[in-house]
Amino acid sequence: MLKCEDCGRDLPEKEALVHKDSNGEKHIICPECFRKATGIDYKTFACRRETAKQTFFAVLFCLGATVYAFIEKGPLYGGLGILLTILVYLFSGKMR
């Protein structure tokens, strides 16, 4: 059993969250205090992080395809690939 460092209540391990404060210090806190500290729900936070991860992989994939197109098809297709990568990046940014 852990304790929330903010409100002091007992916390099951699976609910415990690690929050970094503005000084960069890590604190074990409960989901409610997380919401108070950050202004967003932990689920929203986790969801945003997940979206960011997906964006990262999508962009990585596009970059890979771009390099491939550049080598296999020439600079024109490489340029299109870069354009596509930028579009994917902008588009997934908007969905957040």
Among 6, 27, 82, 88, binds Zn ion (CB under 5 A): 6
Considering only residues 11 through 30, tell me which ones interact with Zn ion, judged by CB under 5 A: 30
Residue 22 and residue 24: Cα distance in Å, rounded?
A: 5
CB of 22 to Zn ion, least distance (A): 18
> How many angstroms separate the Cα of 77 from the Cα of each of 12, 52, 63?
53, 27, 12
Confirm or reject binding of residue 4 to Zn ion (CB under 5 A): yes
Residue 15 is classified by DSSP as T
Q: Looking at beta carbons only, is 7 or 67 nearer to Zn ion?
A: 7
